[in-house]
Structure 1
Amino acid sequence: MKPSIDYQALFAATPSPYLVLRPDLVIVDVNDAYLRATDRTREDLVGQYLFDAFPDNPADATADGVRNLGASLQRALQSKEPDTMAVQKYDIPVPSRPGAFEERWWSPINTPVLRPDGQVAWIIHRVEDVTEFVRSRTAPTGGPRGKRVAMEAELYARARELQRLNEELRQAHARERKVAVALQEAMLHSPDLDRHRNIAVRYLPAVGSLNVCGDWYDIVDLPDDTFGVAVGDVVGHGLEAAAVMGMLRSALSAAVRALHEPAKSLEVLGLYARSVEGALVTTAAQAVIAPRHHRIAYSSAGHPPPVLAHPDGTSDLLDQATDPPLGARPEHVPRPQATLRYTPGDILVLYTDGLIERRGEDIDAGLSRLTDGLARYARLGPDRLADALLGHLGVRGGAQDDIALIIVRL
């Protein structure tokens, strides 16, 4: 028989100091060890914004506790992974002496707790008060011990400098990410999309990661009322991936306009990719839809299969014309192409792997969730269906990888 555990009592008795924070950093719970470490009561803390309860020491011009802890908490929120900080000097107010602060050194770790949909519900902020240890190791003494202590103090100082440099590097990466996302979104403009009220598109950059700006979508009008839809995924991230994505997207758009066939267009793209640094092993899927004949022709270069969903709740995976990614073969080989008929009212979905792939999970599980969502929301219009699918798959706010999505109501 499984023993019953009182987790509330367990949390209260845990010897390490803990806070529980909402994603907006408001304190919702605190254990006894934290109250003892900070000389506070529950009434002092619960319901308080963290940095209102523990602001920086205004008398210390070098105080950076709020900045560094805030950055760590944001990393935990965005990455959805625990974030461990270096030993941090973070003075705290003295409750009995308004305006006075007490020097404190802490060893913190911030761990997100996820809801079933994958979003952060809480952050567990665990700290160890190492003030006495730091003071004992940096107290001035003579002889060999004094030299050792001086060396350890220097190591602490270097660790602090490394922490500062890491924060500057993180900020530089964040700036690059912002520029890359803006460039990506500008390049994803599809003029022909405006003529298709039956098509919805979405692009969501990766959350808490530099793995952004390699995914694309495109819609291209072709002769005889046919049109093409395509998605692709460049290996890499940042500005380089955004630049490669732009070149490959433009090349595939030009190729399908000239050739009107998915497989031949991907052949041209594969040859072009050999001359573009960073383009090899890109995946892409291209489909050409002929509404007059209710026909879809498609080809895939190592990409997850498009899905054709039917009003009765069933779905077909378009996986009969799949070939390796661009440049994966040493010599040029014609790519396969498949054709199938559709019934008006069907839904064609093209997407990149960020929509369905999850760490430690087989891709078939993600495909099953996608087809289940299509069956559940098939009656919605393209835009509402796109949003419903993102919510159903738990990525409405983004995922650990980019997501590009095309919904076509046929």
Structure 2
Amino acid sequence: MGEVIDYAAVFQSLPGMVALITPELVYADANQEYLKVAGRTREQVVGRHMFEVFPDNPHDPSASGMRNLAASLERVLATGQRDAMALQRYDVESLERPGEWEERYWSPVNAPVFGPDGDVVLLVHRVEEVTELIRARGGHTGSRTRVLEAELYTRARELQELNERLRDAHAREREVALALQEAMLPALRQVRHQGTAVRYRPAVGALNVCGDWYDLVDLVGGHRLGVSVGDVVGHGLEAAGVMGQLRSALSAASRVAAGPAQALDVLGRYAGVVDGAESATAVTTFVDFDARTIAYSSAGHPPPMLVHADGRIECLDGATDPPLDARPDPLPRVQAQTAYTDGATLVLYTDGLIERRREDIDTGLNRLADSLRRHRADDPERLADAVLLELLPPGGATDDTALVVVRL
């Protein structure tokens, strides 16, 4: 065609009620149908907080439309997923008769709009008013209309209450899983090397939380340190339990293995008999402070980064195999080694730090490398904080994140 489409005109001409909402829940725009049905002008809507424009009916103590809509919008912001709401009663104040509230019923759907970095930058709020449909089902018999309205409203309330109970249950599971994970992850005081910082950031909401782990262990023979991170597919208590089993198994294997590849060989065989460990990933490094070398091996995990003192970033991707328990007959895993000089920094992490929706993973790796290069002179604690601040979304990531920083 070659013609430039005027998407603003298309938006205004949409036949249904559609509004654009910012992450702060402020109206960014609203189409003509939305303004018409809502009985508001553009000046009364755009630029104002949506619950300032449409508050709950103060004369109805049981009004919950504002709370339910806010919860739906927050879910979309946190998960990046479309959310179709149950039928809502949400009364609207009459502009011609201030203080009078009209009983209205709505069917809302909320969806995310992503920016270039994969974050949710706008919310599409599409609404269908069903008030007349509810009343029309009762014909000319007012009592039948009221019965139908009451029945639909009751069913909607029951569904909302069920959703709230499910969210509460997820929240309680999340708290227990986080406590379990905190109890199972190692303390830094357990290793001799003190130039180390660790961070764990849980995901926003109940999903995809508690599957990430890290481990640091003093190795036998000389001044050596084993550093590992891993990621279990799944969430909640089950993932936290699997995470604890794999971390403990790798910690034990690392103490007696000849190298990181052999440690992952042992872990892979162990994962084969652990329910929930399918497709788990892990990477482990053996740091020899006397020889100034790092041996490493990866089971399907994002590569560690070695930040040299001069700012050069070395991506340790020379020994990557499939995830744990990915092969029915596992082959011996590969291993690689690299050298470093004093002042270098080793960084291990999980995919929550670098992966974003609709973004190539190389973009995240480059973003991490740039942050590490700029903050390489910081001590490990400050470097870890700076990396998390720059790479994680302001509202939190939708996948949990583990980060280990070791000054060599």
Specify the TM-score bucket, using the shorter chain as the normaliser: 0.7 to 0.9
Per-residue displacement from partner, 1:331-353 (whole Å, max 9, x unpaired)?
56543333222122333221222
- Which of residues 314, 321, 324 in structure 2 aligns to 1:323? 321
- Greater Cα shift, 150-159 or 133-142: 150-159
Q: 2:219·2:226 contact (CA, 8 Å) conserved in 1?
A: yes
Percent identity reads 58
Q: 2:134·2:149 contact (CA, 8 Å) conserved in 1?
A: no
1:217 aligns with 2:203: no
- Which of residues 308, 311, 327 in structure 2 aligns to 1:310? 308
Q: Secondary structure at the match of 1:281?
A: coil
Pairing of 1:77-226 with structure 2 (within 5 A): 77-139=77-139, 158=155, 161-192=158-189, 196-208=193-205, 210-223=207-220, 224-226=222-224
Q: 1:117·1:394 contact (CA, 8 Å) conserved in 2?
A: no
Q: 1:281·1:325 contact (CA, 8 Å) conserved in 2?
A: yes
Distance 2:206 2:82 in 1: 14
Q: 1:26 to 1:314 in 2, by over 3 A?
A: same
Q: Secondary structure at the match of 1:125?
A: strand
Q: Secondary structure at the match of 1:178?
A: helix
Q: 2:209·2:236 contact (CA, 8 Å) conserved in 1?
A: yes
Distance 2:176 2:332 in 1: 37
1:16 aligns with 2:16: yes
**Amino acid of the residue matched to residue 246 of structure 1?**
G
Distance 2:382 2:362 in 1: 25
Q: TM-score, normalised by structure 1?
A: 0.83
Q: 1:374 to 1:2 in 2, by over 3 A?
A: farther
Q: Tell me the residue number matched to 1:53.
A: 53
Distance 1:361 1:17 in 2: 31
Q: Tell me the residue number matched to 2:70.
A: 70
Distance 2:248 2:141 in 1: 69
Measure how far apart 1:294 and its partner are: 0.5
Measure how far apart 1:399 and its partner are: 2.8
Q: Secondary structure at the match of 2:284?
A: strand
Measure how far apart 1:240 and its partner are: 0.6
Measure how far apart 1:76 and its partner are: 1.1
Per-residue displacement from partner, 1:97-116 (whole Å, max 9, x unpaired)?
44432111112222333444
Q: Secondary structure at the match of 1:383?
A: helix
- Which of residues 254, 257, 263 in structure 2 aligns to 1:256? 254
Q: 1:397 to 1:39 in 2, by over 3 A?
A: closer
Q: 1:260·1:288 contact (CA, 8 Å) conserved in 2?
A: no
Distance 1:28 1:251 in 2: 52
Per-residue displacement from partner, 1:137-184 (whole Å, max 9, x unpaired)?
244669xxx99x999996786566445433432332233223323332
Q: 1:204·1:404 contact (CA, 8 Å) conserved in 2?
A: yes
- Greater Cα shift, 98-107 or 267-276: 267-276
1:338 aligns with 2:347: no
Distance 1:368 1:131 in 2: 52
Unaligned runs of 5+ in 1: none
Q: Tell me the residue number matched to 1:292.
A: 290
**Amino acid of the residue matched to residue 72 of structure 2?**
S
Per-residue displacement from partner, 1:66-104 (whole Å, max 9, x unpaired)?
232122111111012332223322112223444432111
Q: TM-score, normalised by structure 2?
A: 0.84
Q: 1:80 to 1:360 in 2, by over 3 A?
A: closer
- Which of residues 269, 273, 276 in structure 1 aligns to 2:274? 276
**Amino acid of the residue matched to residue 181 of structure 2?**
Q
Measure how far apart 1:201 and its partner are: 2.2
- Which of residues 399, 402, 405 in structure 2 aligns to 1:401? 399
Measure how far apart 1:117 and its partner are: 3.5
The number of aligned residues is 407
Measure how far apart 1:65 and its partner are: 1.2
Distance 1:21 1:214 in 2: 33
Distance 1:152 1:397 in 2: 39
Q: 1:355·1:395 contact (CA, 8 Å) conserved in 2?
A: no
**Amino acid of the residue matched to residue 123 of structure 2?**
I
